[in-house]
Amino acid sequence: MTITFYCYPKCGTCRKAKNWFDTNGVGFVEHHIVEDTPSKALVKELIERSELDIKKFFNTSGQKYRELNLKDKLNDMTFDEKLDVLTSDGMLMKRPLTFDENHVTVGFKEAQFEQTWK
């Protein structure tokens, strides 16, 4: 089982998640979410597999999200339009985005990591 870990190195939440993996001896393949933004097809697949609403994949506290005024715009967009915006810039994605063949987690909650990745 290969765990793929999309993160932003300066993000405190990503550093906490990475530390959790290191502390628990769980291996992962790291990708820089801005320099190596996941493709539209991959993100669509992860959304479907996770059964989470696409809005859960947006970094709603991020500067880019606020600059684009997405809080007001997302409700009027189609799924495909949301997906296009989400995958246009890695800074718009909630991070870390972690997945393997069977699981998908968005963000870092220690209890969720314990249950999913241990």
The CATH number of the domain where 99 resides is what? 3.40.30.10
User: What confidence tier does 1 reach under pLDDT thresholds 50, 70, 90?
Assistant: confident
**pLDDT tens-place string over residues 95-115:** 999 999 999 999 999 999 999
Residues 6+ apart with CB under 8 A from 73: none
Number of domains present in the structure of the chain? 1
- Could you tell me the pTM of the whole model? 0.94
For 34, the domain range is: 4-117
**pLDDT tens-place string over residues 19-63:** 999 999 999 999 999 999 999 999 999 999 999 999 999 999 999
Phi, psi of 98 (to 5 degrees): -125, 135
